[in-house]
Copies of this chain bind each other. A is one copy, B any other.
Amino acid sequence: MKTDKQDAPVNLLDVAREAGVSRATASLVLRNSPLVAAATRERVQQVMQRLGYIYNRGAANLRQNRTNTIGLVLSNISNPFFSTLTAGVEEANDASEIVCFIADSAESPERQARQIQRLREHNIDGLILCPAVGSDERVIADLDRLGLPFVQVLREIPGCARDYVTVDYAAGIDEAMAHLVTAGRRRIVFIGNFSTHSAARARLEGFNRAAARLGLPSLPVIAGGRDNRYDEAALDEILASSEPPEAAICYNDIIALAVMGHLRRRAIGVGSDFSVIGMDDLSSASASYPALTTIATMPHRVGEAAARLLQKRISRPAKRSEQLVITPRLIVRESA
């Protein structure tokens, strides 16, 4: 009776002995090899059950070159957008028996480097990375040197052309702008993000191109700050100008909700006098008042796609790199 608590964990050799086979055979049973005879398999499995055997994947990993673990390094895990993305990754992983380390770079390239190093020591098979603001090609060079497969999500380190899952922000903004113009709005401002990572750039460029194509007057961009703040003074200034804007497209929903509050305090009717469109479709967007019209960027789907792409990359390290672009959708509610 070796079903003790923990003094001596049951290992494969114990199982083999008890079942009267060799360690090698027991190992084959573990891996569902077709080599073992049905009767033997049955017997070994019963012994495993009886002894309460627990597979030690760590030991197996030492011998194989896969661990069935991946890393997910995000720039800010407390952002609801990223948590939904994480849930998507999780879902894809759960199906393939992969577990996921999570790490938060908190937008610090140094911390990000530390996290990646640490994960690497744990022999992750691959990495899903949303690069911290300020990351440069050295990150990619490091990953290459380590031979670590990776997929970038949402943001891309410029000029590296690797596996990448993103959202077609420009298309979403096009749709939003078209919607606003149809509703008769022409003076539209963009309220931005503090940084210049690829996602921020794509949104702003998408905005500028759409404005140009639609022949809209060009207004100054309202700058954003850290932690989803924006330049309130600049917004006030432009609102007080002789030709104030009639609508805003915001970098994301968090900013859009704040902008709505700001307009309300200035007694500007959101939805009537002024339209506001956000981006992401967080759950709080539908619960706001007025309910926020927003560009749904479907983080769950992004996460799933990234996890699957990473799995492909891991199994075929030499395959051509792939860029997946999720098409967002405008969700029209009351704010525009």
Interface residues of A (CB under 8 A from B): 5-6, 52, 54-59, 61-62, 67, 69, 72, 77-80, 82-84, 86-87, 90-91, 94, 97, 99-104, 111, 114-115, 118-123, 144-147, 254, 257-258, 260-261, 264, 282-284, 287-289, 291, 300
Contacts and interface: CB of A to CB of B under 8 A. Distances in A.
A257 B83 contact: no
A143 to B, nearest CB: 11
Given A104-B87, A289-B289, A99 B78 contact: no
B52 A145 contact: yes
A121 B291 CA distance: 46
5 contacts: A6-B146, A58-B67, A62-B62, A90-B103, A289-B289
A contact face: mostly helix, strand, loop, or mixed: helix
A64 to B, nearest CB: 10
A147 B6 CA distance: 6
B83 A123 contact: no
A103 B99 contact: yes
B100 A102 contact: yes
A287 B264 contact: no
B78 A84 contact: yes
| Total copies of the chain | 2
B101 A56 contact: no
B58 A62 contact: yes
A67 B284 CA distance: 39
A110 to B, nearest CB: 12
Nearest to A72: B102
Contacts of A86: 77-78, 83, 102, 104
Which of A104, A111, A258, A300: most chain B CB closer than 10 A?
Answer: A104
A191 B115 CA distance: 42
B62 A59 contact: yes
A280 to B, nearest CB: 12
Given A87-B104, A122-B99, A287 B287 contact: no
Given A58-B62, A257-B288, 5 more contacts: A58-B122, A77-B86, A99-B118, A101-B102, A284-B288
A146 B289 contact: no
Contact of A145 (B5, B67, B84, B144): B5
A85 to B, nearest CB: 9
A278 to B, nearest CB: 11
A135 to B, nearest CB: 18
- List 8 A-B pairs, minimum CB-CB distance, nearest first: A6-B147, A83-B83, A284-B284, A257-B287, A78-B87, A80-B80, A102-B102, A57-B121
Contacts of A82: 83
A13 B235 CA distance: 62
B119 A99 contact: yes
Contacts of A114: 94
Given A58-B61, A261-B287, A118 B101 contact: no
A90 B102 contact: yes
Contacts of A80: 78, 80, 83, 283
B287 A69 contact: no
Contacts of A90: 77, 102-104
